[in-house]
Amino acid sequence: MKHLRSLREFIAVLESLGDLQPIGAEVDWHLEMGAVIRRSYDLRAPAPLFTSIKGVATGYRVLGAPGGLSNLPGLTFCRIATALGLPPSASGREIVEALARYRSIDLVPPRIVTREAAPCKENVLTGSEADLLRLPVPLLHQGDGGRYLQTWGMNVVRTPDGTWTNASINRMMLVDSRRLACLLPPVQHIGMIKAQWERRREPMPVAVALGVEPGLPYVGGMPVAAGVSELDLLGGYFGEPLETVPCETVPLEVPATAEIVIEGHISHTETALEGPMCEYPGYLTGDAVPRPVLNVTAVTHRNDPILPVVTAGPPVEENHTAWGIPHAAECLHLLQAAELPVTLCWMVPESAGHWLAVGVKPDWHQRLGTSARELCDTIADLVFGNKPGMAIPKILVIEDDVDLTDVGQLVYAFASRAHPGTGAFPYPDRLASYLPVFMDSQERTTCSTTKVVHNCLLADRYPPGARPVVADFRHGWPLDIQNRVLENWHAYGYRSPTVNRRQL
C-alpha cells in the first residue's frame, strides 16, 4: 500500500496518470473558479490546478475536484484509490472493501515532529499578518452567502479533558480578514465537542488544516464512533503513524505537511451569518443563518501553498465520493458484523448520497430462513439506527447478481424487481440530515423524516431454483455460443471491445 504523505505527492501522482490539468491562465476566485471545477466534474475531466488567481499574490494555488471521478479508461476512481494507497485502477468495490476491512485493525496515533521538520511552518503569520484575505478563497456558486475557505480540510478539535481529538470536514465561510463563520451541527462530533467547551463558558481552540495528505479527507468524512481520532484511524489504515506538529497559538497538533493551517478559537458567544451554500443534494437553496465565529490567531503555510476546493452540487463531487464511500464502508462493516449475508454496500454516487445499495447473497433466503421484510427491517434498524446511516434516507436491498456499482445495472434491478405496491417499506420519524430537498419545513426543524427501504429481493418470492435469472450475455446463451461470438468479434467487423464488459 503506497502511503502518499502530502498533497504535493498526490498531485504528482495525478499528473503522471494524466488526471491533472494545470491552468496557468488567470482565473477569478469570484465564481469563475467554481464554474471550472463544476464543469470538470460534469466532464469527469482532470482535476484543475489553478496557478494564477486574479487579485491574489503570485504563488498561491488552488486544486479543484481533489476527489472527483475521472474519465480516463479504467481509472474512474483513481483520485480516491491513490489517496487511500490503492492502485489507481481500483474499483469502487475494492475501495469500499479496503475501508471496511481495516476497521478491525489497531489504531496508530500520530508521531509528533519538530517545527523544523514540518513544511506547514515554512511561513508563520500571527497578529495582523494572519490575514485570510491573502488566500485564494473562492465564491463558489451564484447565490452562495460568501466565500468558502474550508471545503476539503480537517477541523482539528479536542475535548477540554484532552482525551478525544476529532478531525472532520465541516464547511467554513469567510466573514472578514480574521474571522470565519462555522457550521457545527450538534449531531456531528465537532458540535458535541463544542458543547463541552460551551458548558465551561470557554471558546473552543481549533486548527483548520487545509491541503493535507490525501487520505485524510476520507477519514474526515467517515462516520466513526465518538471518542476515536480520525488521525489514529488513518495511521491504523496505513500501518504507520501520521506526522503531526504542534500549533503556534492553540494546544493542538496538525498534519505536518498541511499546505495551510488556520489556528484560532470558535467563540461561545459571537455569531455571524453563514450560508447559504449549495450543498451535497445539489440545489441552490437555503438561507443565511447565524453561526459561531472562528477568531483567527495564526495562519501558517507552506511556500506557494495549495488550497484544495470542492464545489459541492449535483453528482458526482466529493460529498458523493469522500462522504459516500466511507459511509458505505462503515455500513458494510456494521451489517457484516451482525452476520448478515451482505456482500457490498455502495452509496450510489449518482444519487448524491441519497441511495445506499445493499447487496445480499442470492441464497440469503435459504441461509436465514426469513422473509425479505424481516431482512429489510433488520438492515433498516442497523443502518438508520446508527451513525453511519443517520444521513442516509433511502436503501435499496438487492441480490448481488448485478454489479451495484454500475448505475445502469442498479437502475435496471431496482426498476424491474421492486414491487410497485408492496416493495417500499417506510420507517417514520428517523433522525436525518436536514439538507435533502424532499424534506418539509417541519422535518427540517426536527431533523427527522420518513426513511425507506426498497425491497428488490426476489429469492423469497419464487420457489427454490425458479428465481428469474438475468438474461445477460453470460446467462442467456450456452458457453459454446458465447465463446464463438467472443472469438469472432473482430471477424464480424467490430473493432473493440473484444469482450463484453459484463463478461469480465
Ligand X SMILES: Cc1cc2nc3c(=O)[nH]c(=O)nc-3n(C[C@H](O)[C@H](O)[C@H](O)COP(=O)(O)O)c2cc1C
Q: Which residues are catalytic?
A: 279
What number of CA atoms fall less than 13 Å from residue 65's CA on the CB side? 33
Q: Does 252 bind ligand X (CB under 6 A)?
A: no
Q: For residue 294, list its beta bridge partners.
A: 180, 266
Q: Does 291 bind ligand X (CB under 6 A)?
A: no
Contacts of ligand X in 163-182 (CB under 6 A): 166, 168-171
Q: 431: phi > 0 → left, psi -120 to 50 → alpha, else beta; which? A: beta
CB of 220 to Mn ion, least distance (A): 8
Q: Which does 397 bind (CB under 5 to 8 A by kind): ligand X, Mn ion, none?
A: none
CB of 266 to Mn ion, least distance (A): 16
Could you tell me which stretch among 10-18, 113-121, 187-195, 352-360 binds Mn ion (CB under 5 A)?
187-195
CA 293/CA 178 separation, integer angstroms: 10
CB of 330 to ligand X, least distance (A): 9
Q: Does 189 bind ligand X (CB under 6 A)?
A: yes
Within 10 angstroms of residue 482's Cβ, the number of other Cβ atoms is 16
- The residue among 149 and 398 lying less far from ligand X, judged by its C-beta, is 149
Could you tell me which stretch among 39-47, 184-192, 330-338, 396-404 binds ligand X (CB under 6 A)?
184-192
CB of 190 to Mn ion, least distance (A): 8
Q: Cell for 9?
A: 505527492
- The residue among 154 and 452 lying less far from ligand X, judged by its C-beta, is 154
Question: According to CB under 5 A, which one of 166, 300, 433, 449 is a site residue for Mn ion?
Answer: 166
DSSP state of 320: I
Q: Does 433 bind ligand X (CB under 6 A)?
A: no
CA 165/CA 157 separation, integer angstroms: 6
Cβ atoms of residues 391 and 222 within 8 Å: no
Q: Does 320 bind Mn ion (CB under 5 A)?
A: no
- The residue among 87 and 160 lying less far from Mn ion, judged by its C-beta, is 160
Q: Cell for 51?
A: 496557478
Q: Which does 215 bind (CB under 5 to 8 A by kind): ligand X, Mn ion, none?
A: none
- The residue among 189 and 302 lying less far from Mn ion, judged by its C-beta, is 189
Cβ atoms of residues 210 and 272 within 8 Å: no
Q: Cell for 29?
A: 476566485
Q: Does 311 bind ligand X (CB under 6 A)?
A: no
Would you report the helix, strand and coil content of the chain in percent, each value rounded to 5?
30, 25, 45
CA 113/CA 430 separation, integer angstroms: 44
Question: According to CB under 6 A, which one of 213, 318, 330, 399 is a site residue for ligand X?
Answer: 318
Of residues 409, 388, 389, 387, the one with CA closest to residue 398: 409
Binding positions for Mn ion, rule: CB under 5 A: 166, 189
